[in-house]
Amino acid sequence: MTTAQLLEGASLLNWRRLQLKRGGRRVDFDWLLDLAGGLSWSSLQRLLVEPQQMVQLKVALQELEQIWGLHLDQAIPLQHLVGRCPWRDVELAVSAAALIPRQETEVLVDLALKAVAGMSVGRWADLGTGSGAIAVALSRAMPSTPGHAVDLSADALALARTNLEALAPKGRWHLHQGRWWDPLEPWWGRLDLVVCNPPYIPSELIHNLDSVVRDHEPHLALAGGIDGLHAIREVVAGACRALAPAGWILIEHHHDQSDSVLELLKEAGLTSIRAAQDLEGIKRFAMACRSRSHPS
């Protein structure tokens, strides 16, 4: 990154107008100004009213122009270009190795913590950890509870390690490479909380995704097979065996998969099954509990 830059608000606003004329979405440009430039949304709003104020940016305008240009020309996600992404109360390192953590997954974590509020959680797991976002959130919320983050991708796990080392309390989390429940076999029957944001995009929809997603986020993080439910079926099938009695599983899914996922959870013998909505009121999550009496 180059040196900081001090300039008059009016000049910055004029430069911002020119950049937006190149294309792209205002919301994305302002996100870049905030994260890479250090100009918060509220400071920008103040500047729009009082353009005579001076502004201190963390980087030179040319650097922001270059990032914006790469985003416009090659559809590279701004998060990859900046290398960071704010998520919940932290700033995660992100890269092409793993999915950029989404806002709805913040809701998934809130639901998970609510489900186990008042319960003594002895052990948690994050299946398909990617950047480690969920594992970081669970570790921070339950600093003395051991937890496990699993992913098939070695590259994703390396990124998860970076984030956990930087942001989570030390010594209580473990990373495992492998398929869903497999690496957790030593703890089967003892997992009180399992959170999973699996790949769930049906095959035929993959090529319709925005190129910023389709061409830059890992296929392994997106592709859920023909009906989008391949990973979810596998995760649900192992849940009764791996969850502790009265343990919870929470799964994120596509906008039209709620009925199917609830049915899978029912067929698997789980109880207290319910759907939950994202911030737009769409059923994007399913949660269920292993009954206390279910045979392992």
Q: Summarize as ranges the residues that interact with ligand SAM (CB under 6 A).
A: 98-99, 101, 105, 128-131, 133-134, 150-153, 156, 179-180, 197-199, 220-221, 231
Query: Cβ closer to ligand SAM: 39 or 242?
Result: 242
Helix axes 26-35, 9-21, angle to 10 degrees: 130
Query: Cβ closer to ligand SAM: 55 or 232?
Result: 232
Query: Cβ closer to ligand SAM: 120 or 208?
Result: 208
- Contacts of residue 259, Cβ cutoff 8 Å, sequence gap at least 6: none
Query: Cβ closer to ligand SAM: 147 or 199?
Result: 199
Q: Write b or e for each residue in 221-231: b if 16 or more Cβ atoms lie within 10 A of its Cβ, otherwise e.
A: bbbbbeebbbb
The minimum distance between CB 275 and ligand SAM, in angstroms, equals 18
The minimum distance between CB 98 and ligand SAM, in angstroms, equals 5
- Contacts of residue 41, Cβ cutoff 8 Å, sequence gap at least 6: 30, 34
Could you tell me if 37 and 59 are in contact, meaning their C-beta atoms sit under 8 angstroms apart? yes
Query: Cβ closer to ligand SAM: 117 or 154?
Result: 154
The minimum distance between CB 150 and ligand SAM, in angstroms, equals 6
The minimum distance between CB 38 and ligand SAM, in angstroms, equals 25
H or E element: which one contains 125? Answer: strand 124-127
Query: Cβ closer to ligand SAM: 10 or 222?
Result: 222
The minimum distance between CB 274 and ligand SAM, in angstroms, equals 20
CA dist., res. 142 & res. 218, Å (int): 29
The minimum distance between CB 106 and ligand SAM, in angstroms, equals 10
Please enumerate, as own/partner, the contacts of 219-225 that have beta carbons within 8 Å and a separation of 24 or more. 220/152, 220/153, 221/98, 221/99, 221/128, 221/130, 221/153, 221/156, 222/99, 223/199, 224/198, 224/199, 224/200, 224/254
